[in-house]
Amino acid sequence: MNRCPHTGITLDWVNSQFFSADQRYLMCATHGAVFEPPTGECVWGPCFGLSLQSVPIEINGGQIYARLPGAKED
């Protein structure tokens, strides 16, 4: 989910841009929190030690499907 665990706002620096300049970390545009992409753990900033919410994905026939929290099963 595109939500910072600190305030619940979107992470985007610019529409759909989330990564640091070196492409190593996800970053929150509002307070500059820095997250490890593999785990979603905040490694710097006001939400240090918290994590982004993961979303299970499935790749099927070249399509990527995400199961959002609270979504109904088909």
Q: Which CATH superfamily is domain 1-74 in?
A: Rieske [2Fe-2S] iron-sulphur domain (2.102.10.10)
DSSP 17-47: B-B-TTSSSEE-TTT--EE-TTT-BEEESTT
pLDDT at residue number 14: 72
Domain boundary assignment for the chain = 1-74
| Per-residue model confidence as pLDDT tens digits over 11-68 | 876 777 888 889 999 998 888 899 999 999 999 999 999 999 888 889 999 999 988 7
- Residue 60: predicted pLDDT: 94
- pLDDT at residue 2 is higher than 80: no
Please report the pLDDT score of residue 25 as a whole number: 94
